[in-house]
Amino acid sequence: MDTYKEKLSILSEMIAFARVDQSLKDSEYQFLVGVASSLGVDKTTFEFLLNEKPSKTFLKSQAERIVQFHRLLLLMNIDQEQHEKEMLTLRNIGLAMGLPPSGIEQVFSVMHEYPNKVVPPDILINIFKAHYN
């Protein structure tokens, strides 16, 4: 990630995704706070983003897009519920990022094989690598 602006955009996108079901559960909020912290975004800025319209920045590298897709997948599963609207939104976000549709579908399929539907990063990366070759 090159800039602070990109980090804020990533958080903005995640906040908007968390609200797809019209609510922000405490588990989702706590997860977002953790991501903000790992990106070096302070609590005040994070709270400001909660009330802002999401901004869009296209992530340049394939690796950055896969990492963001993984973050969103984790966020979707943090409350142990997967709603059709969340699945559709995540699918569309992945497609907009340029991720291969077959890779996205495979991730959705295998996530049910892991505890709490948390696909390990190496598995996720290997899925997308296979679909890029």
The pTM for the full model equals: 0.82
pLDDT per residue as tens digits for the range 26-84:
999 999 999 999 999 999 999 999 888 766 767 778 888 999 999 999 999 888 777 78
The answer to whether 35 and 82 have CB atoms below 8 angstroms apart is no
Calpha distance 84→93 (Å, rounded): 14
**pLDDT computed for residue 29 by the predictor:** 93
**pLDDT computed for residue 94 by the predictor:** 92
Specify the CATH number for the domain of residue 100: 1.10.3680
pLDDT over threshold 90, residue 1: no
**pLDDT computed for residue 4 by the predictor:** 86
Ramachandran class of 117: left when φ > 0, alpha when ψ lies in -120 to 50, beta otherwise: left
CB neighbours (10 Å) of residue 117?
17
Our count of domains for the chain comes to 1
The answer to whether 56 and 13 have CB atoms below 8 angstroms apart is yes
What single-letter amino acid sits at 26? D
Domain containing residue 50: 4-132
CB under 8 Å, gap of 24 or more: what pairs does 95-104 form?
97/58, 97/59, 97/65, 97/68, 97/69, 98/62, 98/65, 99/65, 99/66, 99/69, 99/128, 100/128, 100/131, 100/132, 102/131, 103/127, 103/128, 103/130, 103/131, 103/132, 104/69
Place of tokens 């549709």: 101
